[in-house]
Structure 1
Amino acid sequence: MADAAPRLTALAEELLGGPLPVRLRTWDGSEAGPPDAPVLVVRDRRALRRMIWKPGELGLVRAWVAGEIDIEGDLYEALDRLSGLLWERGDTGGGLLAAARDARLRAAAASLLRLAGPLPPPKPPAEEIRRRRGGRHTRRRDRRAISHHYDVGNDFYALVLGPSMVYSCAYWPAGGSAGSLEEAQSDKLDLVARKLNLKEGDRLLDVGCGWGSMALHAARAYGARVVGITLSREQAAHARKRIAEEGLTDRIEIRVQDYRDVADGPYDAISSIGMAEHVGAVKYREYADVLYGLLKPGGRLLNHQISRRPEPDEDAYEIDPFIDAYVFPDGELAPVGRTLTTLEDAGFEVRDVEALREHYVLTLRHWVANLEREWDRAVRLVSPGRARIWRLYMAASAVSFERNRIGVNQVLAVRTPESGTSGLGLRTRVWTEGAD
């Protein structure tokens, strides 16, 4: 066989009802498709069997993680071109082979089966999370989900994130890409601290404290007394080491603790940066209630959270299968409007909402560049499959932010006392001086 690429291209275009937006090269060396487009390389026809048995995004991702398909050329352009076949169509109504449910296209699907070979689909790659027990977002299941994502080695995260060890959207205050990632992450941490109006001696609870960067900044630059909580033991160990090296153990305590188990309020302020995505829709009101109860009257919450666009039918919303199986098990995104409503229902007064969507595009491109620059070392630190997961996940996320499929917002909310005095006065966006 030396014509697999043109045959596969013709079959895909028949199933999709339109041209394939990338060039195709297959295991036999043949090529087909637009000459100047990025190349989708199908190294092994096992990839086709994965896509036949699991149409749409998950089948493609399993082939990617296993190294059976790859991209040559601009990865971002390729993902942008393919997004119409994956994200906009969805796994239930589209995907590469979902159209085969149409009786008119069954002959094409049968031809694709012959091209893929008679064997059953390979087992999912080892990096895919296995069957999960218990109800979603129980304490035990949340611990396992967090461990799957974060306990893959601090050295790997240091390679991707850089010296800042901040795993959330950075902030370029001048509105452009000038400045390093480390400077932009420092500016983000300071933006959070200023929005929270931190002062010497304030008690700050950092929910989902990661590797301790926000806690260190708040204690070092503002004199705050900080409790940081995480469910990742590897994160906690790294954060404690950094804190000891800076001589701040008298000001910062790091706990391996669920936010639902914190019982030593009240706090003057709470930062929750990139953590609420793990909470889940069924627990979000509880999350808001817990944080409200941990704040003193007049206490401030800064909630930094990725959001998604609202669905026409919210009841039909499904968690992204790639993210759920390989990246953030049980992670869920909500429209920013729902987040604001839930915070208000819990008693918070929402004082400010700032969208940072374009900043996350820059952040993710920096992380992908870090990973690609140190690719061989990344593979040694984790595995080829996990390194491929991260490259795809971060690049695809950058495209999603660029296309406004997802966003990220900082919400400043206050537990305003009955007197109505928020403690923030009339200051409006004093924290963004000099921004566009």
Structure 2
Amino acid sequence: MPFAPRLATVVERFLGSPLPVRLRAWDGSEAGPPGGPAIVVRHRRALRRVLFRPGELGLARAWVAGEIDVEGDLYAVLDRMLEPIQAERATPARQTLAAGRDLIQLAGPQLPVPPPLPPEEVRRRTGPLHSLRRDRQAISHHYDVGNEFYELVLGPSMVYSCAVWGEETAEGAGLEEAQTAKLELICRKLGLREGQRLLDVGCGWGSLVLHAARHHGVRAVGITLSAEQAAYARDRVAKEDLSDRVEIRVQDYRETADGPFDAISSVGMAEHVGATRYRAYADQVFGLLRPGGRLLNHQIARRPLPAGRTYRPDPFIDAYVFPDGELAPVGRTVALLERAGFEVRDVESLREHYAMTLRQWVRNLERHWSEAVRLTSAGRARVWRLYMAASALAFERGSIGVNQTLAVRPTSRGASGLPLRPRAWTEAS
């Protein structure tokens, strides 16, 4: 009997619903609705991966290894597959057991031997969670994969956080204009002025500190745990002749002790901090600010969980993308900043903007696919394509969001220095 119809039955039992996309098996057989995009199972080894690690991680390993692929629109496949999963239909236990037995038969005679892990997966993590050593390992896994690869994905701006489209950019503006608008928006929220000191925690490839020094005349310090990012950023600083105003350090926020700063930015970094250390992070940046200084915290957020449920990081992202990364609801972030002593003055959601940004990054990756594979590996490129496409859909569906939180270290008299209507960021502050 052809494999695809049997495999389709297994998938439908697990989903508790009809197969939402076409399925093609390694023997050329097909099943499911005709037309449209298709999931292609290129090797039965993919089934063994799912059996040895049921759920998302097993599927992710098969995807990274190239044993599962998509023909047609990747977004459409992910969207159609997410719908029955997120509907949380309760599949009867007897159906699940029957599907498991069928999957064992389809997986073939080599079942006792687990397939080798794709080399792109995180192998071993040493040290306590969110210790200095372990955080450096996690950051290196994600960011030290080659600056040329990131140039292909991110484009000339080399900004690895969501761009901002809207009134600040012309209609139809591209990614570079939208990223410049985001950098300028941050600088205006921070009220940067000539001669001030700015600390950028998690400075990436230096785009924000360069923009702030060039356009607002600040003296900026950027810190990162990625040696490759730091080298790239220092080269940019030298080329723009800003070495007298911009310093790039390979340094953890916990090791930074040369405050006070007039302003601190933390853009896309706090997701790496972890729930157990977030209050210490908030205390640290509070202590580095002068009274009246501003913090701009730009951070991805998840939805609050129902009562009784425990948060667990996404297994694919934890194993292949952001090891030890954690997301928190925006309310928890605001509460911890307030407990550290900050006065939170503004929270702006940019959820839709991140979906738009991710789709641009996916387009860049797909346009330069052969070069991306050459610079890293086929598996690494596949990790990025899946991660960014799935994340774009998650932002579009509202299951995750991203927020810019502006907070002030209060003065003894309570003055904030903010305009009376804080959202007037295009006006001088």
- TM-score bracket relative to the smaller structure: over 0.9
The one-letter amino acid paired with 1:59 is G
Using the TM superposition, give the Cα deviation of residue 111 of structure 1 relative to its aligned residue in structure 2, in angstroms: 1.9
1:296 alignment partner in structure 2: 290
CA distance in 1, matches of 2:159, 2:417: 29
Q: Of 105, 128, 133, which residue of structure 2 is paired with 1:135? A: 128
Contact 2:57 2:315 in 1 (8 A): yes
2:194 alignment partner in structure 1: 200
The one-letter amino acid paired with 1:133 is T
2:99 alignment partner in structure 1: 108
Contact 1:158 1:165 in 2 (8 A): yes
Please state if 1:122 is matched with 2:121.
no
Query: For residues 176-201 of structure 1, what are the alpha-carbon distances to aligned partners after superposition, in whole Å with 9 as ceiling and x for unaligned?
Result: 96101000000000000000000000
Q: Of 144, 150, 155, which residue of structure 1 is paired with 2:148? A: 155
The one-letter amino acid paired with 1:303 is N
Q: Of 174, 179, 189, which residue of structure 1 is paired with 2:173? A: 179
Which ranges of structure 2 fall in alignment gaps of 5 or more residues? none
2:10 alignment partner in structure 1: 11
CA distance in 1, matches of 2:9, 2:65: 25
Using the TM superposition, give the Cα deviation of residue 114 of structure 1 relative to its aligned residue in structure 2, in angstroms: 0.7
CA distance in 2, matches of 1:188, 1:262: 26
Using the TM superposition, give the Cα deviation of residue 85 of structure 1 relative to its aligned residue in structure 2, in angstroms: 5.2
CA distance in 2, matches of 1:50, 1:192: 44
Q: Of 208, 222, 225, which residue of structure 2 is paired with 1:228? A: 222
Query: For residues 243-282 of structure 1, what are the alpha-carbon distances to aligned partners after superposition, in whole Å with 9 as ceiling and x for unaligned?
Result: 0000000000000000001010000000000000000001
Query: For residues 140-176 of structure 1, what are the alpha-carbon distances to aligned partners after superposition, in whole Å with 9 as ceiling and x for unaligned?
Result: 0000000000000000000000000000000012389
Using the TM superposition, give the Cα deviation of residue 432 of structure 1 relative to its aligned residue in structure 2, in angstroms: 5.6
Contact 1:56 1:86 in 2 (8 A): no
CA gap of 1:197–1:129, structure 2 versus 1, over 3 A, is same
- The alignment's TM-score, normalised by the length of structure 2, stands at 0.96
CA distance in 2, matches of 1:314, 1:372: 41
Please state if 1:26 is matched with 2:29.
no
Q: Of 157, 163, 167, which residue of structure 2 is paired with 1:164? A: 157
Contact 1:47 1:60 in 2 (8 A): yes
Contact 1:301 1:413 in 2 (8 A): yes
- 1:37-436 paired onto structure 2 within 5 Å: 37-84=36-83, 86=85, 89=88, 102-119=93-110, 120-174=113-167, 178-313=172-307, 316-431=310-425
- The alignment's TM-score, normalised by the length of structure 1, stands at 0.94
Using the TM superposition, give the Cα deviation of residue 425 of structure 1 relative to its aligned residue in structure 2, in angstroms: 3.7
CA distance in 1, matches of 2:34, 2:268: 41
CA gap of 1:314–1:359, structure 2 versus 1, over 3 A, is farther
CA distance in 1, matches of 2:226, 2:86: 31
Contact 1:173 1:432 in 2 (8 A): no
Contact 1:164 1:185 in 2 (8 A): yes
Name the SS for the 2:19 alignment partner.
Answer: coil
CA distance in 2, matches of 1:76, 1:336: 27
Query: For residues 30-62 of structure 1, what are the alpha-carbon distances to aligned partners after superposition, in whole Å with 9 as ceiling and x for unaligned?
Result: 111011342000000100111122111111100
CA distance in 1, matches of 2:278, 2:415: 26
Query: For residues 118-154 of structure 1, what are the alpha-carbon distances to aligned partners after superposition, in whole Å with 9 as ceiling and x for unaligned?
Result: 2133121110001212211000000000000000000
Name the SS for the 2:387 alignment partner.
Answer: helix
The one-letter amino acid paired with 2:172 is A
CA distance in 2, matches of 1:315, 1:14: 25
RMSD (Å), alpha carbons:
1.6
Contact 2:358 2:389 in 1 (8 A): yes
CA distance in 1, matches of 2:84, 2:44: 20
The one-letter amino acid paired with 2:71 is E
Contact 2:267 2:297 in 1 (8 A): yes
Percent identity for Structure 1 against Structure 2: 68
Contact 1:21 1:37 in 2 (8 A): no
Number of positions where the alignment pairs a residue of Structure 1 with one of Structure 2: 424
Which ranges of structure 1 fall in alignment gaps of 5 or more residues? none
Using the TM superposition, give the Cα deviation of residue 232 of structure 1 relative to its aligned residue in structure 2, in angstroms: 0.3
